[in-house]
Chain A
Amino acid sequence: MAHGHDDHGHGSGHDAGHGSAAPGGHDDHGHGGGHDDHAHGAAAAGGHGGGHETHFQPAGMSRGLAVLVLALGVAGGFFSLGVTGHFDFGGRVIDLNDLFDTPWPALTVLCLPLVAAFVQIFVGRKLPRRGDWVSTGAVMVGLAISLMMFGRMIGIYDWQFQRIHEIEWIGLFTRSAPGQPDVTSFRIPMGILIDNITVIMLVVVTLISTLVHIFSMGYMVDEPRYSRFYAFLSIFTFSMLGLILCHNVFALYMFWELVGLSSYLLIGFWFEKKSAADAQKKAFLANRVGDIGMFLGIVTFFYFTGQITYAGIFKGVAEGAFSNHMGLLTIAGCLLFCGAIGKSAQFPLHVWLPDAMEGPTPVSALIHAATMVAAGVYLVTRMFPVFTPDALIVVAWFGGITAIFAATIALCANDIKKVLAYSTVSQLGYMIMGLGASAYTNGFFHLWTHAFFKACLFLGSGSVIHAVHTQDMREMGGLWKKMPITFGAMLLSTFAIAGVPGTSGFTSKDGILGDLLFAAHHHAALWPIVVFAFVGAGLTAFYMFRLIFMTFTGKPKVQEKFDHAHESPWVMAAPLVILGALAILSDKGGWFQELVGPPPSAASAAIRMDLIAHGQPVVEEAKESAHEGGEHESAEAHPSNEAASAETSTSARRHPYEDPLEHEKHPAHTTAMIISIFVAGSGIFLSWLTYQKKVISAPKIAAALPGVHNLLLNKYYVDEFITYFLVQPFLALAYGCARFDLKVIDFTVNAWGYFTVLCSRVAGLFDQKVVDGTVNGTADVVQSAGTALSRFQTGRIKTYLAWSVAGALLLVGGFHLVTNWKHVFVRRPAAVVEPAK
């Protein structure tokens, strides 16, 4: 930590724990101790009683609070174990560097949910509590391991940290000369890549998944297909973890499709509703559009570099695999980005995400807010080095348009989940925009912080829906008295998403805005994006506080629903509390920026050069060392392993990333911070005036601008546009094809059928007339011959004898003729006898 953190621009107002080692910031909620698993198990067991509580009960709540503190202690225990790096287990010292130096911990995290999914599918219903503890336990073990990994990552504190464990998955051999070993000419490896990004994503996924599993115990308890729900959740968790852990694009694509599948299954979980069934199909098809582009991108990279691993592709690109086709590299990057457009719901394909809110709310929180939709951002983050400057501008524009576009729609939405859905689309737009503007670290940082506060908001909305049984905010109001915990957690998260200083959302969004401003100074094409971003930030603050005001404050609009409202059972409240806390805390410590440096391989050096007039060679060196480091350690992991375990104090070998451009970025960040605080503040203020004080009348504004209001109410008619310009032509095409099928293809098939029948008739005739005629004719000939010959059989012995004699004579005479025909027919000249001399 050579440089001061106050210079960062972000996080200057809340640098608790910055001065000391970064782990310190995280120990705050982790020093409860309780390292043993039994406490954890007891926590889970204790939770079972509370699942069916329907009213807010102080006693139940205090027990829940105790369990919550215990769980936090256990989690903190795992985390601090990881930071320490080793622990004494009955005299046996266990080295936690093995978390990274062997693939098994990561594979355990990956595979346990899969096992749980199978258990749930086959025997889930017969298990006690319909088996929810199987899935929850599996993901909890994953969370424990992930937290240890996270702690170990903080302990190692090396931004270039990377481990690859791979096996040869497919190897094709070329046979060489006899006696020589065969040459592997083509190989596809399969393996896992563990670096800081992976570990961070592991924590996001397992943590939110665990909390959602726990939340669902309360939210889904009346569901007849309860165990199936948990099975689907487990499948999703497995797929998402695989997507994070894999080290090549083929596996990425496979898991990408698997998360698409689990999303499909979970959106349509209540498939009896037609809207849910339609939504699941829509989501799947919209994703398919993006995935085709992504697949083409993957194939392009494979074609040009011959590699499927991230490292291999980066190396190939850096070594100039595309040097003669730079335009193609841009196109390939854009194609790859198509996958992110689909999965992360960017502008043209965002339509599926609001509809996906038909799924159960915990699913919306897990999949359609925090993790799966972030997969697109993760993809761009992972593949960042291959994006050319032009491709990044495209990415930035898509993100920017999405951010402002979705934010404006959210202004007019009245369904609480729809507001959050459009807010998710908008925030994903911010991440994508940040990545496109080379705010690599901050774009990914926003993923991290957004995951927590958005999951909190969604689970909070689930809690509200659970309480009032409606999703329409116009029927809510004044709920804060009835649901203080939900209100508190959601308020914290709303502060975070609105960008109130001191929250995690402020730090990450401000990081993006600052980097954006900085990049726009060097790239004029980004200026409109900057405007979008700041306006979008204001709108975000406005509509999120609109949600809070309409839902929790003011007077209840429907008294009956208000009277029945109640605080959710603590299995639902506890995840809210944890996520609400993380909405504030998840950015603290400054470790993120120091551990997620620039892309590990810097083929993107060119991009930075392009954006930054005076590019520096730092990145180039970083690439070299990062790459070699990764290779070296994956090949023989032990030297560094021993080195790490030998040092109990990890601070000696910390390698935080230091941004060489920090001083240049500083003014931009300061400006961005000032503007964003102003914008967010005015957004909140206007929202307060409009929905709390009612000084400004929203209906009057709507009446004054009917066109705009209608446009927003109808979501810019994107769905209609897609319906009329894509779906209808497509349907017309399909009908045309059907008609072609009916008229032409069926006609051909039928004609062929008639022709076949005709041929059969001819063949039948031939069979009957010719073949049968031959057979019958033979029989007739035989019969008539027999009839003719039977005339010789007179029965008179004398006739027989006469024939016999005649035959014998004929034979003798004939034989004589045949053997002696010369004597009979040829007259020989008489021999001339020479007279003797």
Chain B
Amino acid sequence: MPLAVAANNMPVASLEWFLLVGAFLFACGIFTILTRKNAVSVLMGVELVLNAANVNLVAFSRFVKAPATLGPAGIELPKGVDPHLVYGAPWIGGNVFAAFVIILAAAEAAVALGIILGIYRNLGDVDVDQVTGMKG
């Protein structure tokens, strides 16, 4: 996959490379979740999946620009209206979601660890295969 070439002839990584990295991370995360028995390892796999999403978010934020004249939901702004005044600072984009995800991941890790502790307390183990209370 060719690297993009910037105006100053320096090779620059294109969007696909970032998505490939994200997909790889996602695959690793899923693989970890499905193969590990240890709940903590599974949690780590979940972190990988989350971060794969973060990579994508940041990459899309960097490479995909919305048309300047379109407002939210694609509504065309009236002429003479500065989109900056509508959307705020132009550097705040999809990448902000990555920050949210990181924060949520931290909170989720705390909750998940609590759950794992609960499981450990109830079952004396952290093997997720043992947890079949939702069996139909």
A: which residues have CB within 8 A of B?
A: 790-798, 801-802, 805
- A790 to B136 CA separation, bound complex (whole angstroms): 5
Chain A residue contacts of B136, Cβ below 8 A: 790-795
The 3 closest A-B pairs by CB, nearest first: A793-B136, A795-B135, A795-B132
Chain B residue contacts of A794, Cβ below 8 A: 132, 135-136
Chain B residue contacts of A792, Cβ below 8 A: 136
- A790 to B30 CA separation, bound complex (whole angstroms): 24
Chain B residue contacts of A793, Cβ below 8 A: 134-136
Partner of B129, one of A790, A796, A802: A796
Sample of 6 more A-B contacts, CB < 8 Å, known A795-B135, A796-B128, A798-B129: A790-B136, A792-B136, A793-B136, A795-B134, A797-B131, A798-B33
In whole Å, how far is B135's beta carbon from the nearest beta carbon of chain A?
3
In whole Å, how far is A301's beta carbon from the nearest beta carbon of chain B?
95
Chain A residue contacts of B124, Cβ below 8 A: none
Q: Are A798 and B135 in contact, CB atoms less than 8 angstroms apart?
A: no
Interface string of B50-77 (1 = CB under 8 A from A): 0000000000000000000000000000
Task: Name the residue on A nearest B45 (C-beta).
Answer: A801
Chain A residue contacts of B131, Cβ below 8 A: 795-797
B: which residues have CB within 8 A of A?
A: 30, 33-34, 128-129, 131-136
Task: Name the residue on B nearest A792 (C-beta).
Answer: B136
Task: Name the residue on A nearest B39 (C-beta).
Answer: A797
Write 29 A-B pairs (CB below 8 A) sorted by A numbering: A790-B136, A791-B136, A793-B134, A793-B135, A793-B136, A794-B132, A794-B135, A794-B136, A795-B131, A795-B133, A795-B134, A795-B135, A795-B136, A796-B128, A796-B129, A796-B131, A796-B132, A796-B135, A797-B128, A797-B131, A798-B33, A798-B34, A798-B128, A798-B129, A801-B30, A801-B33, A801-B34, A802-B34, A805-B30
- A790 to B135 CA separation, bound complex (whole angstroms): 8
Candidate in B128, B129, B133, B136 with the most chain A CB atoms within 10 angstroms: B136
Chain B residue contacts of A802, Cβ below 8 A: 34
- A717 to B19 CA separation, bound complex (whole angstroms): 130
Chain A residue contacts of B135, Cβ below 8 A: 793-796
Q: Is the interface of A mostly helix, strand, loop or mixed?
A: helix
Task: Name the residue on A nearest B27 (C-beta).
Answer: A805
In whole Å, how far is B17's beta carbon from the nearest beta carbon of chain A?
20
In whole Å, how far is A570's beta carbon from the nearest beta carbon of chain B?
114
- A705 to B33 CA separation, bound complex (whole angstroms): 140
Chain A residue contacts of B30, Cβ below 8 A: 801, 805
In whole Å, how far is A808's beta carbon from the nearest beta carbon of chain B?
10
In whole Å, how far is A804's beta carbon from the nearest beta carbon of chain B?
10
Candidate in A790, A801, A802 with the most chain B CB atoms within 10 angstroms: A801
Task: Name the residue on B nearest A787 (C-beta).
Answer: B136
Chain A residue contacts of B34, Cβ below 8 A: 798, 801-802
Task: Name the residue on B nearest A804 (C-beta).
Answer: B30
Task: Name the residue on A nearest B37 (C-beta).
Answer: A798
In whole Å, how far is A788's beta carbon from the nearest beta carbon of chain B?
11
- A802 to B133 CA separation, bound complex (whole angstroms): 18
Chain B residue contacts of A791, Cβ below 8 A: 136
- A795 to B136 CA separation, bound complex (whole angstroms): 7
- A792 to B134 CA separation, bound complex (whole angstroms): 11
- A805 to B132 CA separation, bound complex (whole angstroms): 20
- A42 to B49 CA separation, bound complex (whole angstroms): 129
Task: Name the residue on B nearest A790 (C-beta).
Answer: B136
Task: Name the residue on B nearest A798 (C-beta).
Answer: B34
Task: Name the residue on B nearest A793 (C-beta).
Answer: B136
Task: Name the residue on A nearest B133 (C-beta).
Answer: A795
- A793 to B134 CA separation, bound complex (whole angstroms): 7
Chain B residue contacts of A805, Cβ below 8 A: 30
- A798 to B38 CA separation, bound complex (whole angstroms): 12
Chain B residue contacts of A801, Cβ below 8 A: 30, 33-34
- A796 to B30 CA separation, bound complex (whole angstroms): 15
Task: Name the residue on B nearest A801 (C-beta).
Answer: B33
In whole Å, how far is A483's beta carbon from the nearest beta carbon of chain B?
117
Chain A residue contacts of B128, Cβ below 8 A: 796-798
Chain B residue contacts of A798, Cβ below 8 A: 33-34, 128-129
Chain B residue contacts of A790, Cβ below 8 A: 136
- A794 to B130 CA separation, bound complex (whole angstroms): 11
In whole Å, how far is A614's beta carbon from the nearest beta carbon of chain B?
124
- A72 to B44 CA separation, bound complex (whole angstroms): 138
In whole Å, how far is A790's beta carbon from the nearest beta carbon of chain B?
4
- A791 to B136 CA separation, bound complex (whole angstroms): 7
Chain B residue contacts of A796, Cβ below 8 A: 128-129, 131-132, 135
In whole Å, how far is B16's beta carbon from the nearest beta carbon of chain A?
16
Chain B residue contacts of A795, Cβ below 8 A: 131-136
In whole Å, how far is B31's beta carbon from the nearest beta carbon of chain A?
10
- A791 to B132 CA separation, bound complex (whole angstroms): 13
In whole Å, how far is A805's beta carbon from the nearest beta carbon of chain B?
6
Chain B residue contacts of A797, Cβ below 8 A: 128, 131
- A504 to B132 CA separation, bound complex (whole angstroms): 129
- A790 to B129 CA separation, bound complex (whole angstroms): 18
- A793 to B132 CA separation, bound complex (whole angstroms): 9
In whole Å, how far is A802's beta carbon from the nearest beta carbon of chain B?
6
- A460 to B116 CA separation, bound complex (whole angstroms): 129
- A791 to B131 CA separation, bound complex (whole angstroms): 16
In whole Å, how far is A750's beta carbon from the nearest beta carbon of chain B?
60
- A801 to B34 CA separation, bound complex (whole angstroms): 8
- A805 to B52 CA separation, bound complex (whole angstroms): 15
Chain A residue contacts of B133, Cβ below 8 A: 795
Chain A residue contacts of B132, Cβ below 8 A: 794-796
Chain A residue contacts of B129, Cβ below 8 A: 796, 798
In whole Å, how far is B70's beta carbon from the nearest beta carbon of chain A?
24
Task: Name the residue on A nearest B129 (C-beta).
Answer: A796
In whole Å, how far is B36's beta carbon from the nearest beta carbon of chain A?
9
Chain A residue contacts of B134, Cβ below 8 A: 793, 795
- A496 to B133 CA separation, bound complex (whole angstroms): 126
- A798 to B133 CA separation, bound complex (whole angstroms): 13
In whole Å, how far is A343's beta carbon from the nearest beta carbon of chain B?
97
In whole Å, how far is B42's beta carbon from the nearest beta carbon of chain A?
8
In whole Å, how far is B130's beta carbon from the nearest beta carbon of chain A?
9
In whole Å, how far is B84's beta carbon from the nearest beta carbon of chain A?
36
Task: Name the residue on B nearest A789 (C-beta).
Answer: B136
- A95 to B31 CA separation, bound complex (whole angstroms): 131
In whole Å, how far is A793's beta carbon from the nearest beta carbon of chain B?
3
- A794 to B33 CA separation, bound complex (whole angstroms): 17
